[in-house]
Structure 1
Amino acid sequence: DLDEVGRRAAEAVERGATEVCLQGGIHPAFDGHTYLDIVRAVRTAAPSVHIHAFSPLEVTHGAQTLGLPLEDYLARLKAAGLSTLPGTAAEILDPEIRAILCPDKLGADEWIEVMRTAHGVGLRSTATIMFGHVDGYEHWARHLLRVRALQTETGGFTEFVPLPFVHMEAPIWRKGKARSGPSYREAVLMHAVARIVLHPVIANIQVSWVKMGTDGARAVLDAGANDLGGVLMDESITRSAGGRNGQCFDRTEMIALAAGAGRPARQRTTLYQPIGHEPIPSLEPFA
């Protein structure tokens, strides 16, 4: 409930968190007011925290249930305290794959339009790819090129985050209709190729230590990635899918992991500003 959402946000800030990330499935009882109320609950309990919330699927659901254009609903979320959007629910931005993998989610064009609209109202976002299930290399290429094209238009993506498919509890895998995730080599290559394809329009390639593990993350820091994401607290998405890596990776461990790859570590805000600096005040198209 909203009180619990607020309590967890306040606890996170007390423990040093700079960002609260909120995502969920599409609950039949939720409407656009639900998401607005959640943002307000976090903002009230933790006035200073960065609120990184709601996938394009959730944003679309919220707008449709209130009969609002995307632009108007995103502006309402921003006014209520939303800071940035996670670029999840992207999976693979290719109609062939989405028809198999997630036919009940947004289409590829719809996902792109939500992000274009969000960037237009001044909300930055991440961009992701979830790969290694029913997809092929040509689909990965199409996805990367679509992300690059939108970034060239809006400049709104802060980073690109490859997410290897965690198969263990996935219904499509249990039915024998999907791979058991990408190979280790493919996962490393995805980060490396993303660095090449997205340069220079997206400067940050993030490796998910939750998905890759510490050894994998260290290797990927030597193959295109420059970011380790957050230390995390109460991580549930990957663990509920059957992932084995821990839900918290503290500051000391993160610094040691970076040092093991020959890299210095520097804490940043969600918008890639050094901690203690003001966030980027406005969103300008990439030039």
Structure 2
Amino acid sequence: MDTIPGTSAEILDQKMRDKISPGRISVKDWIKVIKTAHKIGIRSTSTMMYGHMESYVDRANHIGIIRKIQKETGGFTEFVPLNFVHTEAPMYKHGLHKGIQPGADSDDIMLTHAVSRIMLNNCIDNIQMSWVKTGEKMSQRLLKCGANDFGGTLINESISTAAGSQHGQLLKPKQIRRLVRDVGRIPAERNTTYKILRTFENEPKEEDLDNVDDSKFGSYFDLIKIKKFRYENPR
């Protein structure tokens, strides 16, 4: 193993974490785990969940912590801002906290990606958007607001879908290439550590994954509609 996900960062402010994700790994321990991984040669992603209860200062401090770690270890492959999906999130649905927001609006999403690019310039080269949280159109706009990574195809995505996202669970390679081309960018395929494997100056012939019927992958969206599998928060 030479890479790990840098998830569960949420917002790297302990008071905020205690509200939105009580019991989850502490800020201090998250930083320790990530630094330790980097120092033994295991690289990672980095993330930030925003659009819930945090302030702009909280976001800036979070990105500042990520930047400081990167300057020390050089181990982050990318930074991924993750907009809060509120629809089925218990803390929003049941009003567990005063002032909780239903995610960031379109202007705020673009601002967050742009500020991330500015703050992490010459530090973390890659800013990835999450199309499953923001949708295809917004993801295209984000390619012009600091992001350079459209994200993966995903197959039967469950996390955002369970939280109520309506942007789908799968994009095939040809769909992503089309979306990238439509905003004047040249699509490329990369590996986990951002080595470019192929650059698509011209659209290739359809590949196997492009021709597989979506039903073959199953549907988490359909699964959560089945009442016996649906978790109901007792509050």
Partner amino acid, structure 2, of 1:133: H
Q: Distance in 1 between matches of 2:115 and 2:15?
A: 22
TM-score, with length taken from structure 2: 0.81
> Are the equivalent residues in 1 in contact too, given 2:2–2:41 (CA < 8 A)?
no
Counterpart pick for 2:66 among 112, 127, 147: 147
Confirm whether residue 121 of structure 1 aligns to residue 43 of structure 2.
no
Runs of 4+ in 1 over 6 A off after TM superposition: none
1:275 is paired with a residue of what secondary structure?
A: strand
Confirm whether residue 249 of structure 1 aligns to residue 171 of structure 2.
yes
- Give 1:242 deviation, angstroms: 0.7
Describe the superposition over 1:213-252 as per-residue Cα deviations: whole angstroms up to 9, x where unpaired. 0000000000000001111112111111111111111111
Backbone CA RMSD of aligned residues? 1.0
- Give 1:107 deviation, angstroms: 1.3
Q: Distance in 2 between matches of 1:247 and 1:161?
A: 18
In structure 2, the residue matched to 1:107 is 26
Q: Distance in 2 between matches of 1:206 and 1:222?
A: 12
Confirm whether residue 163 of structure 1 aligns to residue 85 of structure 2.
no
Counterpart pick for 1:181 among 103, 117, 121: 103
Q: Distance in 1 between matches of 2:178 and 2:164?
A: 26
Confirm whether residue 199 of structure 1 aligns to residue 121 of structure 2.
yes
Describe the superposition over 1:198-224 as per-residue Cα deviations: whole angstroms up to 9, x where unpaired. 011100000111111000000000000
Counterpart pick for 2:193 among 246, 271, 275: 271
- Give 1:183 deviation, angstroms: 1.3
In structure 1, the residue matched to 2:12 is 93
TM-score, with length taken from structure 1: 0.66
Partner amino acid, structure 2, of 1:144: I
> Are the equivalent residues in 1 in contact too, given 2:130–2:150 (CA < 8 A)?
yes
Q: Distance in 1 between matches of 2:138 and 2:6?
A: 22
Q: Distance in 1 between matches of 2:113 and 2:6?
A: 16
Confirm whether residue 223 of structure 1 aligns to residue 138 of structure 2.
no
- Give 1:167 deviation, angstroms: 0.6
- Give 1:114 deviation, angstroms: 0.5
2:196 is paired with a residue of what secondary structure?
A: coil
- Give 1:189 deviation, angstroms: 0.7
Q: Distance in 1 between matches of 2:112 and 2:6?
A: 17
- Give 1:85 deviation, angstroms: 1.1
Q: Distance in 1 between matches of 2:40 and 2:151?
A: 25
1:44-123 to structure 2, matched below 5 A, reads 82-123=1-42
Confirm whether residue 236 of structure 1 aligns to residue 158 of structure 2.
yes
- Give 1:96 deviation, angstroms: 2.2
Q: Distance in 2 between matches of 1:274 and 1:144?
A: 26
Partner amino acid, structure 1, of 2:11: I
Structure 2 stretches lacking a partner, 5+ long:
199-235
- Give 1:94 deviation, angstroms: 0.7
Confirm whether residue 260 of structure 1 aligns to residue 182 of structure 2.
yes
More helix by share: 1
2:188 is paired with a residue of what secondary structure?
A: coil
Q: Distance in 2 between matches of 1:275 and 1:227?
A: 14
1:267 is paired with a residue of what secondary structure?
A: strand
